[in-house]
Every structure is written in C-alpha cells, then in structure tokens.
Chain A
Amino acid sequence: MEFDDRAPIYTQIMGLIKRRIAVGELKVGQQLPSVRDLAQQVVVNPNTVQKAYLELEREGYVATQRGMGTFVSGDRGTVDLLRQGLARNIVETYVAEMRSLEYGPEEIAAMAAETARKEKK
C-alpha cells in the first residue's frame, strides 16, 4: 500500500477507510478488519491503525463494540454526506490546480464535463 510518509499515516488510513465507506465497499453496519489484519494488509504499525480507528470513532464514522470489533456506523444519509465531502475535496484540489494554470471557471467546468463524458464510455 502506498502511503506518503511525509504526512501522518493514521490520517491516510482514515482517508482510506472513509473512501471505502463512501464508495460502498464498506457498508453501514459492516465490520472493519481487525487492527492487526489491516496492519498486516497495508504493512504498518498496528498502533497507527488503532489510532486511525479511534479518530474515526471520534468523528463518528465508526463505533467499537468491546470484544466484537469495529463497525461502520451511520446510515445512508451519512454515507452520502461523506461521499459528497470527499468529492468536494477532490474538486477543490482540481479547481485550485487549474486556476494555477490560469484557466477560468467556464473552461474549468467545460474540461471537467468533457473528460467525465469521455471516460464514462
């Protein structure tokens, strides 16, 4: 698993899990891999995975039941919100980079729509 070592790894793991929730790979109520399993999967320190899970719980995306594991919490609505939130981040990055190349809003939108239509095939 590719991680950027220049940023805290636990936030990247959180991002990974949020993405999985957003696209439906992890459904509401589904159990997350155990800390140890995920650590072995992505090859990081289990404590880092633990920290990611705790933060996710603090932010309300997951809940841990003692002795049973960590589960995705929320409902359809929260998942949609998450998806939107992630999308918005991507768009903001895209727009910022296009702006740095001195493209205007219309061109930015047009290019995005054109590319979206193309790739859908």
Chain B
Amino acid sequence: MSMLVQISSLTKRYIGTSALSDITLEVPEGHIMGLLGPNGSGKTTLMKILAGLVSPTSGSVLVDGMVPGVRTKAVVSFLPDVNHLDRWMSVGEAGDFYADFYHDFDRKRFEELLAIMRLTAGQKIGSLSRGMVEKARLSLVFSRRARLYILDEPFGGLDPLARIQVLDALVANFRADCSMILSTQMVADVERFFDDVVFLDNGCVVLAGEAEDLRTRRGASIEDIYREVYGHVEAR
C-alpha cells in the first residue's frame, strides 16, 4: 500500500510559541485518519501545513510524494474550520469558481450533493445559516475528486440529522485511491469511520494506531481512549 501522506520530524514554531514538535506520521492510500485532540493541540496547524497554507519550520512533509505547493494544492481538497467563502458569492458561483480553478471538480456530483443538502445554487452565502454554509462548503470540498481530503471540524454547527447526511456522503464518497484526514470533537459519532487515529497534545503525538487495533488492545472505544489520554488535561 502506498503512503499518501508522509510526515517526518515535522516542527512548526512561531515567535514565542511552538505549534508542532517532532511529528512523524503516515497516511496510507484509501485510509481515513482521525486527528484528535483538544483545542490548541496543533491539529489545525498540521492540516494547514498539509494543505500548503502554512510553511513548516523543519522536518519533511510529502503529500502524494510531493512537497506541499502548487502541485499538491491541485490534488488536496481542504475544508477549513471557518467559512472561507465570500459572502456576496452565491452557492452556484462558488461551484463555478471551484470548477474554474480545480480540474478535478465534478459538477454533477456538486449538484447531487446540493440536492441532498437541500441547498439551491441561487442562495447567497451571506444569507445562509451557519449549518447551511457548512453544508455548502462540504459539498464543494467533496465534489472534487481529490487525492487527499482534509477536513477541519466538518461537523461543527451541524444538527444531528445533517451530521448523518454528511457521514453518508463521506462513505459514499469513499474511494480506494484517495485518503481523508479529519479532525473532530465529536469522537463518538465519527469513530467508526477511522482506519487510523492520531492523538495530539501540545503539538506532540501522544498516541497513534489503527482504530480497530486500539479497540482490541484496550477493550475501549476511541472515545474512552480519548478521555483516558486527555483526562489529566484541564479544560482549556
């Protein structure tokens, strides 16, 4: 199995603070990885580095064998945890924008997803509720036939029904030639989608492994393990 993401000794420092310290991990092709940890643990920084939006301080990062840059952006579909669309854009225009710049954008799938999410092309992003904006952005990200999907808290702001719709879309979207990295606080709802999980704390990997393996060895759910790992950490 080839590795879609290979990270070795990755460190990211800002003036006065360290966001990531000596991170080493791999994501095989066709796998879904759960990136778990409390706020400030470095999940978002790690995802942004993979998406080519933040530059590493040291260490090596390879996405599909390439250093994050223009070529990887063409095969990586990133969903940030904030709304990254212009408010004056309509849903359809956002789709057109994506289609214009990303060759892997599948218009047909976009229309199908919009129908599932009960969104129409004419709605302006600025007029949508938080949950609907989230669904619109997810539709855009999933409509790309990318090699790597990076989703930062995709379930925030979604009601339970919408969450199920998104999880269904996730499974339906699954292909053996792509991989997914997603971070979430709602571990219980999503844990049965993870092939691999990585627990981050303060920019370091405190635990990593295959989800099923961890369940077997510890006789606990990933959520239980989460509580165990971070139990000593006070609420931030």
Q: Which of B31, B192, B220 contacts A9 (CB 8 A)?
A: B192
Residue of A nearest to B180 (CB): A45
Give chain B residues whose Cβ lies under 8 Å from the Cβ of A4: 221
Question: For the complex, what is the distance from the CA of A9 to the CA of B215, rounded to whole Å?
Answer: 9
Question: For the complex, what is the distance from the CA of A37 to the CA of B194, rounded to whole Å?
Answer: 18
Give chain B residues whose Cβ lies under 8 Å from the Cβ of A51: 212
Task: State whether B222 touches A5 (Cβ < 8 A).
Answer: yes
Quick check: which of B48-56, B89-97, B130-138, B165-173 contacts chain A, the rest being far away?
B165-173
Give chain A residues whose Cβ lies under 8 Å from the Cβ of B167: 43
Check if B32 is an interface residue, CB within 8 A of chain A: yes
Give chain A residues whose Cβ lies under 8 Å from the Cβ of B193: 44-45
Task: State whether B215 touches A36 (Cβ < 8 A).
Answer: no
Question: For the complex, what is the distance from the CA of A47 to the CA of B215, rounded to whole Å?
Answer: 16
Check if A32 is an interface residue, CB within 8 A of chain B: no
Task: State whether A45 touches B32 (Cβ < 8 A).
Answer: yes
Check if B195 is an interface residue, CB within 8 A of chain A: yes
Contact status of A48 and B215, CB under 8 A, knowing A6-B221, A39-B171, A43-B167? no
Interface size on A, residues (CB 8 A): 18
Interface size on B, residues (CB 8 A): 24
Q: Which of A8, A36, A40, A46 contacts B212 (CB 8 A)?
A: A8
Question: For the complex, what is the distance from the CA of A26 to the CA of B141, rounded to whole Å?
Answer: 38
Check if A103 is an interface residue, CB within 8 A of chain B: no
Question: For the complex, what is the distance from the CA of A5 to the CA of B216, rounded to whole Å?
Answer: 10
Minimum distance in angstroms from B122 CB to a CB of chain A = 30
Task: State whether B219 touches A3 (Cβ < 8 A).
Answer: no
Task: State whether A43 touches B171 (Cβ < 8 A).
Answer: yes
Question: For the complex, what is the distance from the CA of A8 to the CA of B212, rounded to whole Å?
Answer: 5
Check if A68 is an interface residue, CB within 8 A of chain B: no
Task: State whether A47 touches B172 (Cβ < 8 A).
Answer: no
Residue of B nearest to A1 (CB): B192
Residue of A nearest to B194 (CB): A45
Residue of A nearest to B31 (CB): A47
Task: State whether B224 touches A6 (Cβ < 8 A).
Answer: yes
Residue of A nearest to B30 (CB): A47
Check if A10 is an interface residue, CB within 8 A of chain B: yes
Q: Which of A3, A10, A46 contacts B174 (CB 8 A)?
A: A46
Check if B188 is an interface residue, CB within 8 A of chain A: yes
Give chain A residues whose Cβ lies under 8 Å from the Cβ of B192: 3, 5, 9, 43-45, 48
Interface membership of chain B positions 209-236, coded 1 if the CB is closer than 8 angstroms to chain A and 0 otherwise? 0001001100111111000000000000
Minimum distance in angstroms from A34 CB to a CB of chain B = 12
Known: A43-B164, A45-B32, A47-B195. 16 other contacts (CB 8 A): A4-B221, A5-B188, A5-B192, A5-B223, A6-B219, A7-B216, A9-B212, A9-B215, A36-B172, A43-B192, A45-B174, A45-B192, A46-B174, A47-B31, A48-B195, A48-B212
A-B contact pairs, 20 of them (CB 8 A): A3-B192, A5-B191, A5-B192, A5-B223, A6-B219, A6-B220, A7-B216, A8-B215, A10-B212, A36-B174, A40-B172, A45-B171, A45-B174, A45-B194, A45-B195, A47-B30, A47-B32, A47-B195, A48-B192, A48-B212
Query: A: which residues have CB within 8 A of B?
Result: 3-10, 36, 39-40, 43-48, 51
